[in-house]
Amino acid sequence: MTLIKSEDLIASIADALQFMSYYHPVDFIQALGKAYEIEQSPAAKDAIAQILANSRMCAEGKRPICQDTGIVVVFMEVGTEVRWEPNTDIEELVNEGVRRAYGLPGNPLRASIVSDPAGQRRNTFDNTPAVTHIRLVPGDKVAIRISAKGGGSENKAQLGMLNPSDSVVDWVLSRVEEMGAGWCPPGVLGIGIGGTAEKAMLLAKEALLDGIDMPTLKEQGPKNHIEALRIEIYDKVNALGIGAQGLGGLTTVLDVKIQDYPTHAASLPVAVIPNCAATRHVHFILDGSGPAILEPPRLADWPQVDWSPDPQARQIDLSTVSREEVETWRPGETLLLTGKLLTGRDAAHRRIAELLEQGKPLPAELDFTNRFIYYVGPVDPINDEPVGPAGPTTATRMDKFTDTMLAQTGLLGMIGKAERGEEAVKAIQRHRSVYLIAVGGAAYLVAKSIKSARVLAFPELGMEAVYEFEVKDMPVTVAVDSSGNSIHKSGPSHWRRIKLR
């Protein structure tokens, strides 16, 4: 029997979470480098360059790749010949590892988990609990695959209970089209086929932990129908033209991973879960000899892609920008913002909307007149940082507040990521406003343009408080202009190469 010490499991979980917060998996970053080389859409190429440059900066600076440092998901295979210390609660040991990792003073990670999800949604402030799946297997070791899954990509998970005669390819393509860009492509699709509803979802999630090997698979050719299906879905998803950040381009997915399982004769469960630009997972084995030792990647493994602001980009002074100036901006145009903007995301919007609905005044500091709001929940700063990594969050979640904000607060424009819904686009057009996007998955790079930060309102909301950021040359792209034209519609339709059957 192998004894696994509690401290070895806790330390290994904590180390793995810290490791993945700043090191992309090397196969992912190299596949992204290849995507950069072949990309022809200028907007998508620029977005990939930002993600690659951000990745290298994070590996060097040991700071999180993305401000959303994820919900922790653990798949643990425990050998039946393994023994634990008395009264061990394995899930609690995993949670202790999460607590230790997310609270590490040298690289604090963002606590994103809320309890009472259908009620008060209170932040647990240590990112616990993890979602832990434990399986007993023959052997005397413990094999662990651990990931930190971003909310934007997890929100796009889909389950279909298809008829056995339905096409899996057609279903996946229709789901990916509906996903939009909130999952921060380019990334990887995990697909689970068969079993039952919950089994298909687990297969899809586990498939995301497999290595990226699509170039090899395409070169060598498929050896079975699952490999053929992977290639077909990969080619057809990329032919949709969604591209990096949904801006339109050649690469939406770097790989398609599939796991399958026998199912009922009447059923065809299919699950698809995307992994985003901040793909993060680490695998290790505990054999009783101590905590896992993780080998850092070599910086030489990163593609040689630098990014700096486009000198041709339009410079915008946020202290003087007017509605008339905003009306001259066009979708796809790159802007560099300098000046002060406010932040706010889900919880702050809910508070503001409630106050407005009740006819109550907003906190005195909250004056949105002619200002821009940035949808963001930053990581806490360290040392002399004004703010930690601070990339955009999915704007679609703020759609239901958009008309109220534009009509009642004097807000001029918004900055986030991904497409806006129809109602939000209409509100933008009606109020002659604008919606800009920053690159999801480039949070540390974006944070470098933030020169100061102070909390203005709702400090009790933690990372969801309203801040005022002072920015210098913050790179953004016009996504919806004041006439309601959207880059998320025109971009993909330009780069699309197939029609759905």
- 122-123 and 2-4 strand pairing: unpaired
Total binding residues toward ligand SF4, as defined by CB under 6 A: 14
190 binds ligand SF4 (CB under 6 A): no
Element (DSSP H or E) covering residue 308: none
Residue at token pair 């240590």: 126
Q: Which stretch binds ligand SF4 (CB under 6 A): 88-96, 144-152, 396-404, 451-459?
A: 144-152
Q: State the Cα–Cα distance between residues 63 and 184, nearest whole angstrom.
A: 19
Q: Do the Cβ atoms of 173 and 237 come closer than 8 Å?
A: yes
Residue among 79, 195, 440, 492 that touches ligand SF4 (CB under 6 A): 440
276 binds ligand SF4 (CB under 6 A): yes
112 binds ligand SF4 (CB under 6 A): no
Q: Which stretch binds ligand SF4 (CB under 6 A): 274-282, 285-293, 459-467, 485-493?
A: 274-282
Nearer to ligand SF4, 191 or 276 (CB): 276
Task: Locate the DSSP E strands across 196-352.
Answer: 253-263, 268-275, 281-286, 314-317, 334-343
Residue among 19, 23, 183, 458 that touches ligand SF4 (CB under 6 A): 183
Dihedral in degrees, nearest 10, Cα atoms 349, 351, 357, 358: -170
Q: What is the nearest approach in angstroms of ligand SF4 to the Cβ of residue 78?
A: 29
Residue at token pair 């061990």: 88
Q: What is the nearest approach in angstroms of ligand SF4 to the Cβ of residue 311?
A: 27
Nearer to ligand SF4, 45 or 280 (CB): 280
Q: What is the nearest approach in angstroms of ligand SF4 to the Cβ of residue 65?
A: 8
Q: What is the nearest approach in angstroms of ligand SF4 to the Cβ of residue 152?
A: 3
Nearer to ligand SF4, 188 or 318 (CB): 188
Nearer to ligand SF4, 321 or 395 (CB): 395
Q: What is the nearest approach in angstroms of ligand SF4 to the Cβ of residue 102?
A: 15
184 binds ligand SF4 (CB under 6 A): yes
Could you count the other beta carbons within 10 Å of the beta carbon of residue 235? 15
Q: State the Cα–Cα distance between residues 162 and 45, nearest whole angstrom.
A: 36
Residue nearest to ligand SF4 (CB): 150
68 binds ligand SF4 (CB under 6 A): yes
Nearer to ligand SF4, 65 or 258 (CB): 65
Nearest to 416 by CA among 251, 181, 241: 181
Nearest to 184 by CA among 237, 239, 252, 230: 252
64 binds ligand SF4 (CB under 6 A): no
One-character DSSP codes across 182-202: TT-SSEEEEEEEEE-HHHHHH
Q: State the Cα–Cα distance between residues 200 and 259, nearest whole angstrom.
A: 9
Q: Which stretch binds ligand SF4 (CB under 6 A): 102-110, 276-284, 342-350, 451-459?
A: 276-284
441 binds ligand SF4 (CB under 6 A): yes
Q: State the Cα–Cα distance between residues 280 and 65, nearest whole angstrom.
A: 9
Residues 277-296 that bind ligand SF4 (CB under 6 A): 277-278
Cα 338–chain centre separation: 26
Q: State the Cα–Cα distance between residues 162 and 160, nearest whole angstrom.
A: 6
CA atoms within 13 A on the CB side of 208: 32
Residue among 25, 64, 108, 152 that touches ligand SF4 (CB under 6 A): 152
Where along the sequence are the contacts to ligand SF4 (CB under 6 A)?
Answer: 66, 68, 150-153, 183-184, 276-278, 391, 440-441
